[in-house]
Amino acid sequence: MLREARGLWMSSGTLSSRPALKERLAIALLATAALLLLGLAGCARQLAPVMEMSDEAVPGLIEVELKGPASLPGKVLDQEEVEDDEFGDLFSRELQVELQVDPADEAATLAQLRARPDVIWAEPVTRLQALWLPDDPDFAKQWHLKAAGAEAAWDIARGEGVTVAVIDTGIYPVDDLDPSRIVKGYNFVGRNEDARDDHAHGTHVAGTIAQSTGNGKGVAGMAPQARLMPLKVLTAFGSGTSHDIAEAIRWAVDHGARVLNLSLGGGMRSLAMESAVHYARRKGAIVVCAAGNSGGRGVSFPAAYRDAFAVSAAGPKGFAAPYTSYGPQVRLAAPGGDKTLGEEAGVLQQTLAEGSTTEAAYRWFQGTSMAAPHVAGAAALIMSLGVSAPAAVEDLLTATARRAPESDGEKYGAGLLDAAAAVRRATVWWGLWRLLFALGGALVAVAHARRSGERIKTRGLFWAGIGVGAGALAMLAPLGAERLPFLALLALPPAAWPQRLLGAGSFAGYIGWSALVPFLIALPARAAAKPIDNGFGALAAGLSFGWAGALLHAALWRTVDLPWMPAFLMPLWLLIGAVVAWSAGRGLLAREPLR
């Protein structure tokens, strides 16, 4: 009945009043621009607090600025002298006070305060929620996470589904590490499965990568949702052999780690280790290594190997730390601390207390070992967005690096790590490219069908399908994709979902990164006489074009790595997928049913 009625409506002369393709194209472009603007607005939020999404008053808290000390109602929680005069003078400093009052009397107290002549202003204390700010009490002291761009990155990605191997002195299960996110590891020193730390170094490094964040305790880490794989290759003295390290690298990749952190080094080249690093990268892992602490020119091994990603250390002001090694192999600089500026200019994480093998403590460390895990964490954030090719992760990290304060490529590589800029590029800008490719493909197909005499009427579901298939909603990720678990998946295209949910090393990656899904959806849609005229057919067609756009982007940007697929064949595979997906969509525009 409904279909007949619709057919009637279509044949009753309203056809000509439906907008032409050009107008729809204009609408599509406008919608794209709107998505992009919204996404960028999300990016700019930390700069423009006016655009906060929601700021809610905290009941019972009032902030007052006074002309000077005076008696106030309620309890004073905090106060500080400020200099707000146009002509700042020493004799009349203002006083800002945070007051706790009975929430029931808050409005009355506010009115009372505002009426007082010695009160410059009074307002309710609000909680700003532009960024997800973790409630870990000592997060404020972690200048290094902020410098690495972690705060703004956490709205977009938190490292779900990515395993980071910590090849070090082991990891001690301190209370600010989530035990459920520490996967099985191995102790290559003692040749057993007890990979607990007996030194403090490895646990500190693990904390920088994935300290429990937002748990109301201690400090935070770069990729709070990533999994940690403890691989103990260094003794309680902090030293180990090339043999054990090489073996651990291969073990890590074979057991699902896609980010390897090696905060260790030595002066001797080892072919065993070099070939292991090459193996890891070929199997889809990024191998992040500390450049060394010699304070001079000459990057230590394994950082100096071609397939490793060498990280130098910078202090709080962004200048290279005095102890950092440097050289042409350095790819990026990241916060490693510079204690010549004070103890708190180090990197703060929870680890073992000094001299203890059981007691935990929060300690300030410095070293290129502390810089590398900031990058490893950022790599985990990027990989959780469906970027599985290590070369693409490395390119994102270097292309989005912040400018170093000095132009010295040997000390800073491409510049200073900016995790927020990297995940932004992987969502906002890549989302835009995928959408443009998808729209382009769809328009070519529609024009092609029309030229061969078809009457194609596109509808909302068709365009929606394109957007979904291309993963265009990723452009909105900076608005807070990580606020709800299911939203997080929208930051990556559906083609990347199987890999994200089942692991980058899983063959499920072939389900997403091929034309299989659009093909299977297009098949039943073809049963209709003219698929594009019903909702399901239109959606299936749109989805196919969207998927084709995502596959084409992945082929050109080389973002994907699949198990057993040689790297040089990967773009070809994706291109074939894009053509098949596009053809599936094109097939749904045609009139003739499946024979």
The C-alpha atoms of residue 451 and residue 21 are separated, in whole angstroms, by: 13
- Residue 375 in tokens: 């990058």
Q: Which residues contact 154 (CB under 8 A, 6 or more apart)?
A: 131, 132, 134, 213, 224, 482
| Mask for 287-326, x = binds another protein (CB under 8 A) | ---x-xxxx----xx---------------------x-x-
Could you give the CA distance from residue 558 to residue 569 in angstroms, rounded to a whole number?
Answer: 11
Looking at residue 569, what DSSP letter applies? G
369 is catalytic: yes
For strand 308-314 and strand 286-290, is the pairing parallel, antiparallel, or unpaired?
A: parallel
Q: How far is the CB of 365 from another protein (least distance, A)?
A: 5
CA atoms within 13 A on the CB side of 385: 38
Is residue 198 near another protein by the rule CB under 8 A? no
Nearer to another protein, 103 or 190 (CB): 190
Which stretch, 10-18, 148-156, 364-372, 460-468, contacts another protein (CB under 8 A)?
364-372
The reply on whether position 366 binds another protein by CB under 8 A is: yes
- The string of DSSP letters for 76-116 reads EEEEEEE--SSS--TT--EEEEEEE--GGGHHHHHHHHHHS
- Tell me the sheet residues that pair with 97: 64, 79
Strand 347-352 to strand 360-365: parallel, antiparallel, or no bridges (unpaired)?
A: antiparallel
Q: Contact between 264 and another protein (CB under 8 A)?
A: yes
| Nearest residue (CB) to another protein, 163 versus 300 | 300
Across 43-89, the runs of DSSP E, i.e. the strands, are 55-66, 75-82
Interaction mask 553-572, another protein, x per CB under 8 A: --------------------
Q: Between 273 and 574, whose beta carbon lies closer to another protein?
A: 273
* Least gap, CB of 300 to another protein (angstroms): 5
Which residue do the tokens 């070099």 mark? Answer: 274
Span near another protein by CB under 8 A; candidates 367-375, 483-491, 567-575, 581-589:
367-375
**Tokens 């709107």 belong to residue:** 34
Query: Considering only CA atoms, which of 239, 222, 231, 240 is closest in space to residue 347?
Result: 222
- Regarding 524 and contact with another protein (CB under 8 A), the answer is no
Angle between helices 430-451 and 21-44 (to 10 degrees): 180
Instruction: Determine, following the binding rule CB under 8 A, whether residue 204 of this chain makes contact with another protein.
Output: yes
**Residue from 32, 169, 212, 312 binding another protein (CB under 8 A):** 169
* 162 versus 273: smaller Cβ distance to another protein: 273
170 binds another protein (CB under 8 A): no
Gap between the Cα atoms of 355 and 357, Å rounded: 7
DSSP 307: T
Binding of another protein by 354 (CB under 8 A): yes
| Nearest residue (CB) to another protein, 198 versus 533 | 198
Total residues in contact with another protein, by rule CB under 8 A? 39
Q: Which of 212, 242, 369, 384 is catalytic?
A: 369
First to last CA, the chain: 27
Of 86 and 354, CB closest to another protein: 354
Q: Is 255 a catalytic site residue?
A: no
For residues 98 and 438, give the distance between their C-alpha atoms in angstroms, rounded to a whole number.
53
Among 192, 239, 356, 357, binds another protein (CB under 8 A): 239
Confirm whether 506 is a catalytic residue: no
290 or 392: CB nearest another protein: 290
Q: How far is the CB of 77 from another protein (least distance, A)?
A: 36
| Nearest-angstrom CA–CA distance, 275 and 271 | 6
- Cβ contact 358:198 at 8 Å: no
- Give dist(CA 20, CA 530) in Å, integer: 20
Q: Which of 155, 168, 198, 338 does the annotation list as catalytic?
A: 168
Q: Is the Cβ of residue 256 or residue 367 nearer to another protein in the bound state?
A: 367
**Which is the catalytic residue, given 144, 201, 374, 553?**
201
Active site residues: 168, 201, 369
Residues that bind another protein (CB under 8 A): 168-169, 199-201, 204, 234, 237-242, 245, 263-268, 290, 292-295, 300-301, 323, 325, 339, 351, 354, 363, 365-370
